[in-house]
Amino acid sequence: MRFGRDFHHHTVPEWASLYVPYDSVKCALNSAVGQSIDAKVEPDFSEVYALLDGSIQALCKFHRESCNFLTTRQAKLEIKFGRLLQAIIFSGHKEDDFHEVKIFLEVVKKLHDDFEKLQDYSRLNQEAIQRLFTKIEKLSGSKSLLYQEQKAKWARSQIDLRTQCANFISQFEDLRSSVIERSSDGSRPSTVEDLVSKFKSDDLPSLVAQYAALYRAIRTDKPSSLAHPLNALLRDPSPEQGSNTFLYELAGLAITCHSHLCFQYLLSETFSTNGVVLDHDLLNHVIIMEGELCLSYANNEFKETIQTGEKRHAGLFDIAIEYLASRKETVLSTQDTFGRLSLHYGALHGMDSICQSIMGYSHAWGLGCASRLILTPDWQGFTPFHYAVIENHVGVAKIFLETLFSEIKSGQVAQTETLLESLSDMLILAIRYKHDGIVFLLTKSSFDLHGFSLYGESALYVASQIGRSDYLSLLLEHSNAVHIDTAEKVHGWNPLFISCVEGHHTIVELLLQAGASQDVYDHHGWTAKEHAALRGHLHIAEMLKPWDTGHLTGGPADMPLKSKSAAMCRLSMSGNHVIVNLGSLRNGKHVEAVDLRGSSLDNSPHPKNLTSTDMSISVEGTSQRVKLPILSDMVNGPFVFPVINPSEARLAFKLYAVDSSCETCELIGSAAYLLESDKDCFGANRESLVRERTVPILEKNTMDIIGTIAFTFVIAKPLMGSNTPPLVKQKLSAEGLQLVGHRGTNSIQSALHTAIYSLALHMLSLVMIHSSEAVPFLFANTRPDVQLTRDLTPIIYHDFSLSESGTDIPIHDLSLEQFMHASELQSPSVEPVSVLGRLNPQGLSHGLGRTRVRSRSLTKDKECETVRIQDIMKHTVDFRNKGFKPNTRGHSVQDSFTTLEELLTKLPDSISFNIEIKYPRLHEAVEAGVGPIAIDINTFIDRILAQIFRVGGGRAIILSSFSPEICILLASKQDTYPVLFITNAGKLPMSDMEMRASSLQAAVRFSKRWNLAGIVFASETLLLCPRLVGYVKRSGLICGSYGSLNNLPENANIQQIAGLQLLMVDNVALIASALGRSSTYQTMT
């Protein structure tokens, strides 16, 4: 899972310090486990529980305060909309466009957006805390009293928060629905005109007529029509409200309706004479409504006039400020119930001219007054400058920055550490938001911004983390290089570390050019190079200086020992199982697991994110649930369902809107897929190599498509075709080194029967040689590659396709007869012999007995035939890419093709095998230019396993594969033979984009999830960072390597010293000799 690594991608940047410190708690958890292993006692999680308890209390407090803040805003909006609706009812007419309501709707949407942000905050915290509790359960169970207390406290807090949110949602929905109803085209509220349309206007009651005239005057901004009805109403005010309140609310209505002239009339003609005060709340309402009007697409001209000051008449703010006269300082310096000044609202809405005006007025109030306004925090601790950064209002930020610098330069304000810390915080905030203009503005300012976040992250660190090379270059140019090696507090990672973790190649280059140290270790003793190699960023690891081969302990090699949880991983071998992964399993393919964007959900009764969305996934009545959105990749978190009849099974998805109280759960839409719907599309025992599917989500009532679900699946069926009684389970020894002979060139060739025979006997001879030299026992085995022909016969062949006919034909499209015929075209007429000579079986018990090597003799006709075949194959994919075809005479292959049965029956049982199951992979079909079709994966495995069980006897056998699905099925169908996962682990060029094989870390997680015995990596990763061998072993897995680099004795020696347990080589004699001289190596018996 990448939840911790991707945590920062999901946070609200300005609330970063308010989230559960997931990484800190996880580090404390791992530390407690490590200490308990060393002391051989139960882990002490008291520090973990203390961190959790403090985090839960803090986030619940923040959530309650935030929800109260939103509820108060909502209540104020309800009052304002009530007044507006009253005005519309009294003054509305048939041609009315209700433009005020449409502007007011933007204010309501802003409230919705802020609540959505709070919901996202809560969702991420819930996921983090649930994951932490799950980790504790796995490590120590759920019986601990501290665990139960913390879990109960968390559950109670969630009930309280859900209730609070449910109340807000209920009230908000009433307001939202009412505003939308009045703002929608073709929908209009009932008005007095409608109600009395049968009567003449003269017949209207006088009071109603006065209100109608009053509101019509305000809505049409005609002060000349306002005086008469207003005076009449003021002479006889309503008993429910005095004239003061009535006039104050009337001014608020004029602001909502953007009636400048009427607002000016009310201030100048009625406020002072009736003792009504223009306070900060009314002024803030002015700024909010002008801000929303500026954002309205229909008022671009108005926005331009406000921002430039070139207006036909004074704006609402100018009218209000002029009226305030000597009270400007008092009103502009007064904080509202949210702790906000008028300047906060000006910054929030990006009102450059208003903010500039306030700055201008504040200069006359005394030294440093402007700076105090700019840096006054509200209830969340955010200043007007913060809001300018958060909302990306560059103009406002520039005004504030210039004001601060001016007052500091003139000596009115001191450049304190507090000021610099605040500005540094804003710079980090701007970088996280990727607000280019503000980042450049702050970085190029005259301030020396070297502050850190709560967790010790510098601006350089954050820029490196998000991969912005332009930000990094700018920071390095402006004296930030002083922090180039400064590490954050949690992991001890500096900018170079985090860029290696994230795989940002350009960032690493810039940091190295700027002098970043490569000799730094994090809190756990890892280097940046090791973090890059672990995550498959080998192109980055290769940029860093070579590893000191004398330093093979510590860091990854000494991490706390982890064990595999067999109970979670092992599937029942007697039943069918459907294994479903949401989303894509291929790197570079950006597919949302559940995509609701652009759907008709906006028109559904369930507004997005006001209710949480759950999705159930079910097969044959068994269901599992997942919350949306999905916050982790879930690559190794598949859904597993037992299934009775796969041919009729249906995978069903249902989306539910769940209110925040979790008391109601209403279906939104659904999708389904018949698991074996394409079973007969490709012929008998055939299936597509494309396992990814995308299905539409249909809305429950209209059946409209409201989104899509992407997933991959494989069906694991019980082993068929084998009646062999269960054999004794074989285990791989974790001690010593096993040498595995791989197909290669020169003296050791291994694609044909006799080649493997020769290789195996040669390796046995090496055992005797070393035994006679008193070197501890060396065990070596060979690695044949097994595929299936069209008629389902297991054969020994490495490559994806056979090219002897001049075309690329996949092996699974050839019959056994056709396959063997291709072999006969190249085979010599004489009896095949080993290039190493024959081993005398009688000599095995008394010493080495080898017959003389027979020379290879080819007739001229056969030589011509070989040349002819090579000429035929020159247009095939392999030949064009490599300049030759490996499995042809004159290259790797020296003798006849063979079957798996021949291999197992004709070689002594003392010879062990590491059998690679060569199931076709999607990229191989694409590269060969053939259809992505193969033999049904269960049939493929069953035929091979059946033959191994039937004739394998007591031979030591390891099963391995590059295909994750093959490994899953091998481990689920049998437990006799150990299963190894083979992976390139990020080796370039990457042709296989499979996520589970993309890195050493991904392979370890996959192998642990499915209870595999171990992993065989391309040796490049382990040679770059040998201590990663220890990481694999301490994860409870066997660690092996393969590749041409293993044929160099020095590379084999390094890996052996690092603790490698399985080494695949081509040149067995050379490597065996080198390892025999250097030290001991042993293996399983």
pLDDT confidence of residue 528: 97
pLDDT confidence of residue 930: 81
The answer as to whether 154 is a domain residue is: yes
pLDDT confidence of residue 611: 53
Q: Model confidence at 754, in pLDDT bands (50, 70, 90)?
A: very low
Lowest mean pLDDT across 32-46, 100-114, 292-306, 618-632: 292-306
At residue 838, does pLDDT exceed 60? no
Q: Which residues contact 508 (CB under 8 A, 6 or more apart)?
A: 496, 499, 500, 532, 540, 543, 544
Nearest Cα to Cα of residue 151 among 168, 130, 167: 130
Q: Tell me, rounded to whole angstroms, the distance of Cα 478 from its chain centroid.
A: 33
Q: What are the DSSP calls for 164-233, one per residue?
A: HHHHHHHHHHHHHHHHHHHHSTT-----HHHHTTTS-GGGS-HHHHHHHHHHHHHHTT-GGGTHHHHHHH
Q: What percent of the chain has pLDDT over 70?
A: 80
pLDDT confidence of residue 97: 66
Tokens 């919705």 sit at which residue?
112
Output the six-digit token pair for 415: 């450049």
Contact present, 615 and 653 (Cβ < 8 Å)? yes
Nearest Cα to Cα of residue 117 among 380, 344, 302: 380
Q: Model confidence at 835, in pLDDT bands (50, 70, 90)?
A: very low
Lowest mean pLDDT across 691-695, 792-796, 866-870, 971-975: 866-870
At residue 309, does pLDDT exceed 60? no
Question: Are 776 and 886 in a shared domain?
Answer: yes
Residue type, position 417, single letter: E
Q: Which residue has the higher pLDDT, 907 or 744?
A: 907
pLDDT confidence of residue 868: 65
Q: Model confidence at 834, in pLDDT bands (50, 70, 90)?
A: very low
Question: Are 744 and 671 in a shared domain?
Answer: no
Question: Which of 147, 162, 189 corresponds to the end of one domain?
Answer: 189
What mean pLDDT comes out for the span 791-817?
86
Return the ∠ at Cα 510 (arms to 508 and 515), rounded to 5°. 95
Question: Are 659 and 748 in a shared domain?
Answer: no
> 197-215 burial, b for 16+ CB within 10 Å, e for fewer?
eeeeeeebeeeebbbbbbb
At residue 449, does pLDDT exceed 70? yes
Question: Are 957 and 843 in a shared domain?
Answer: yes
CATH number of residue 758's parent domain: 3.20.20
Greatest alpha-carbon pair distance for the chain in Å reads 129
Q: For residues 149 and 286, what is the distance between their CA atoms, to the nearest angstrom?
A: 50
At residue 196, does pLDDT exceed 60? no
What mean pLDDT comes out for the span 860-886?
64
Q: Which residues contact 32 (CB under 8 A, 6 or more apart)?
A: 43, 44, 45, 47, 48
Question: Are 850 and 962 in a shared domain?
Answer: yes
pLDDT confidence of residue 981: 97
Kind of pairing between the strands at 665-674 and 692-699: antiparallel
Lowest mean pLDDT across 93-102, 276-285, 1043-1052: 93-102
At residue 305, does pLDDT exceed 50? no
Q: Tell me, rounded to whole angstroms, the distance of Cα 764 from its chain centroid.
A: 49
What mean pLDDT comes out for the span 176-199?
59
Return the ∠ at Cα 985 (arms to 979 and 990), rounded to 5°. 120
The answer as to whether 182 is a domain residue is: yes
**Can you give 846-914 as a three-state secondary structure string?**
CCCCECCCCCCCCCHHHHHHHHHHHHHHHHCHHHHHHCCCCCCECCCECCCCEEHHHHHHHCCCCCCEE
10 Å CB burial of residue 279 (0-12, 13-18, 19+) is middle
Q: Model confidence at 281, in pLDDT bands (50, 70, 90)?
A: very high
Q: Tell me, rounded to whole angstroms, the distance of Cα 605 from its chain centroid.
A: 30
Output the six-digit token pair for 480: 């930030």
The answer as to whether 256 is a domain residue is: no
At residue 919, does pLDDT exceed 50? yes
Q: Model confidence at 866, in pLDDT bands (50, 70, 90)?
A: low
pLDDT confidence of residue 859: 53
Mean pLDDT of the chain: 83
Lowest mean pLDDT across 105-119, 364-378, 481-495, 825-839: 825-839
Q: Which residue has the higher pLDDT, 416 or 475?
A: 475
| Most confident residue range from 278-282, 808-812, 1064-1068 | 278-282
Q: Which domain holds residue 941?
A: 738-981
Q: Model confidence at 94, in pLDDT bands (50, 70, 90)?
A: low
Q: Residue 56 region, left (φ>0) first, then alpha (ψ -120 to 50), else beta?
A: alpha
Tokens 């309800």 sit at which residue?
78
At residue 1017, does pLDDT exceed 70? yes
Question: Are 742 and 694 in a shared domain?
Answer: no
Q: Model confidence at 752, in pLDDT bands (50, 70, 90)?
A: very low
| Axis-axis angle for helices 505-513, 459-466 (nearest 10) | 150
pLDDT confidence of residue 600: 44
Distance, first Cα to last Cα, the chain = 36
Q: For residues 395 and 303, what is the distance between their CA atoms, to the nearest angstrom?
A: 14
Count of beta carbons in the 10 Å neighbourhood of residue 576: 21
pLDDT confidence of residue 660: 53
Q: Residue 438 region, left (φ>0) first, then alpha (ψ -120 to 50), else beta?
A: alpha
Contact present, 120 and 152 (Cβ < 8 Å)? no
Question: Are 697 and 785 in a shared domain?
Answer: no
pLDDT, tens digit, 9 for 90 and up, residues 491-525: 999 999 999 999 999 999 999 999 999 999 999 99
pLDDT confidence of residue 743: 59
CATH number of residue 634's parent domain: 2.60.40.150
Q: Model confidence at 753, in pLDDT bands (50, 70, 90)?
A: very low
Backbone angles phi, psi at 602, to 5 degrees: -60, -25
Lowest mean pLDDT across 154-168, 226-240, 1069-1083: 1069-1083
Question: Which of 926, 958, 981 corresponds to the end of one domain?
Answer: 981
pLDDT confidence of residue 434: 96
The answer as to whether 374 is a domain residue is: no
pLDDT confidence of residue 870: 66
Lowest mean pLDDT across 100-109, 483-492, 494-503: 100-109
Q: How many domains does the chain have?
A: 3
The answer as to whether 105 is a domain residue is: yes
Q: Which residues contact 747 (CB under 8 A, 6 or more apart)?
A: 835, 836, 1067, 1069
Question: Are 803 and 924 in a shared domain?
Answer: yes
Question: Are 863 and 957 in a shared domain?
Answer: yes
What mean pLDDT comes out for the span 959-980?
95
Question: Are 757 and 674 in a shared domain?
Answer: no
pLDDT confidence of residue 204: 53
The answer as to whether 426 is a domain residue is: no
Return the ∠ at Cα 267 (arms to 263 and 271), rounded to 5°. 135
Question: Are 658 and 799 in a shared domain?
Answer: no
Q: For residues 799 and 924, what is the distance between their CA atoms, to the nearest angstrom?
A: 10
The answer as to whether 438 is a domain residue is: no
- Secondary structure class of 906 (helix, strand, coil): helix
Question: Are 91 and 151 in a shared domain?
Answer: yes
pLDDT confidence of residue 31: 86
The answer as to whether 444 is a domain residue is: no
What predicted TM-score, i.e. pTM, was given to this entire model?
0.87
Output the six-digit token pair for 320: 């209000």
Helices (H), 816-859: 816-824
pLDDT confidence of residue 333: 96
Q: For residues 146 and 144, what is the distance between their CA atoms, to the nearest angstrom?
A: 5
pLDDT confidence of residue 538: 95
Q: Which residue has the higher pLDDT, 1078 or 419?
A: 419
Q: What percent of the chain has pLDDT over 90?
A: 50
Count, in order, helices (H) and strands (E) of the chain.
Answer: 41, 24
CA torsion sign for 373, 376, 379, 382 is positive
pLDDT confidence of residue 211: 86
